[in-house]
A and B are shown apart, each in its own frame.
Chain A
């Protein structure tokens, strides 16, 4: 077997190649002065995208039309409520996390209930749900900005042997997700559903149950991400989830997951998240503004989907 060739055949490899290229270019430009700082920042900010991206990836795996637009509002709500409940007390950290998880479960149940009961496409169901969640968050966010418990704040902002703790958390979650996707029955099921829902049903897969679990999983991951992000940035803000709506979808697509469903991978999400952050910081070091950054992001997404779309249909 030819190892390099099998590696090149992986859909996620390109996001890492691109990441490495951008990383080197940026380092060269700054003369190597910011190597450690840049890498740490990249790992930290990529970690948040990775956590929501994994959830979104599971949903997108379910096939065309499956997408969760309630990710940003879920993040905001869980960050807000968890910080409120913990109320700066270190003893409440675990309770806060539990609240975030329960909240995610509730959102997942709500999302799938709308999809199933009203028979509406997931995109509009999760959209309506996100309106309601966003309102709840606005209502809960009134008053003083509450700080996270100190231990939690320290944990999220410090690092272990040079690797940010947040990145470690994301890594652990990624490993779990990888096992779920590649090794478990559940992973086989979502992939089967994404390739052909009808064929999946006819092999005895409980399609509704599996889809429900997936939406719940996505909401729980968004919720955990909101909890961590609020602790990291010293408090919850109403717009803290906003950029993660498009980001969560973008990292999945750039990471080589098939948009048509059925074929996903976890490493690509890491590559894409790092890449997205590094492109931004590279453009910043070169002095380009937000406008160019956005245009480039958009063109990258379209280029990737154009290339991937062709691959899908030929083989």
Chain B
């Protein structure tokens, strides 16, 4: 029985999430309940959405360093304009998505490194967010609040949302024609071009889609926190990259997995709770996240080596 490398790549993230969850249940049996799970995974929803956005950018071999400030910007828009005058709020979001598509076009046409362009954009988004909300404030739109605090039967909202996100993005990225061609651009853009596709249009569309998911992430975040500030999601840049990597994605070659990315985001969220249950002082929590990242990458390298040896035999 041959197992595809895509499946193998999903095994590690899924296994690490399971192990982590088991450890948390073991240490705090009370978390094994509806409210317990909801508390553990609540913050995972916006992180998962941001991770999906980052994953789309990484599918075409780019990297978005403005993810954190952009999600913060979206959260600020959601807590101010979207709440007071929804039409203007939606217009702003559409404009922001158009800007994302524009960034994709500029990067493709001028062959610029995505890292530096998005670095510049991170200042712009951050500045716009500060202009809107110089100090923490605003209020979540009622529907966003309702959505994020909804209590569906049996399974808590955070889990339902994560599964939905994973399922929808899996369909878009892994099953649909569009997703196939986008990943093809990451894998071998010359042969995609040769077959008659416009790589420029594909890249613009990918960036726009990433912008859309980042907007959703901002709205979800405000729905959870009820108010916003300009620095609310700065960590998301690093978290989203780490989430994609943890979920089995790679920086180049169009090798991404939406299910893995969502699992990666859940793992990162859970790692925080796990460390506090372990009574590891909060000082070391960030460090432990770094260590987890390194361990997972090392494991993956080992697995790739074994796989290669198997193949050569």
Contact = CB atoms under 8 A, between A and B. Distances in A.
Do A and B share a direct contact in the complex (Cβ within 8 angstroms)?
Answer: yes
A298 B287 contact: no
Interface in A212-253: 246, 249-250, 253
Contacts of A120: 251, 297
A123 B131 CA distance: 30
A183 B121 CA distance: 36
Contacts of A136: 287
Contact of B116 (A130, A295, A301, A310): A301
Interface string B181-200: 00000000000000000000
Contact of A289 (B124, B131, B285, B290): B131
B301 interface: yes
Interface in B66-99: none
Interface in B94-142: 106, 110-113, 115-117, 119-132, 134
Contacts of A249: 116, 119
B116 A132 contact: no
A225 B115 CA distance: 24
Contact of A302 (B120, B130, B242, B298): B120
Nearest to B300: A118
A123, A292, A309 pick with most chain B CB within 10 angstroms:
A309
Interface residues of B, number: 44
B148 to A, nearest CB: 27
B112 A305 contact: yes
A259 interface: yes
Contacts of A246: 119, 122-123
A309 B294 contact: no
B130 A118 contact: no
A95 to B, nearest CB: 25
Contacts of A260: 113
B127 A298 contact: yes
Contacts, number: 133
Contact of A67 (B115, B121, B131, B293): B115
Interface residues of A, number: 48
A306 B106 contact: yes
Contacts of B245: 124
Interface string B283-313: 1111111110110011001000000000000
Given A132-B291, A135-B283, A289-B134, A118 B301 contact: yes
A138 B130 contact: no
B241 interface: yes
Contacts of A301: 116, 119-120, 123
Interface string B128-170: 1111101000000000000000000000000000000000000
A291 B284 CA distance: 33
B241 A139 contact: no
B127 A132 contact: no
B283 A142 contact: yes
B177 interface: no
Max chain A C-beta neighbours (<10 A), residue from B116, B122, B285, B294: B116
B130 A289 contact: yes
Contacts of B284: 135, 138-139
Contacts of B63: 123
B4 interface: no
Interface in B228-252: 238, 241-242, 245, 251
Given A127-B238, A292-B127, A299-B120, 6 more contacts: A120-B251, A124-B245, A135-B285, A291-B128, A291-B131, A298-B122
Interface of A: 64, 67, 114, 117-121, 123-124, 127-136, 138-139, 142, 246, 249-250, 253, 259-260, 289-302, 305-306, 309-310, 313
Interface of B: 63, 106, 110-113, 115-117, 119-132, 134, 238, 241-242, 245, 251, 281, 283-291, 293-294, 297-298, 301
9 contacts: A128-B294, A135-B287, A290-B134, A291-B131, A294-B126, A298-B122, A298-B126, A302-B117, A305-B112
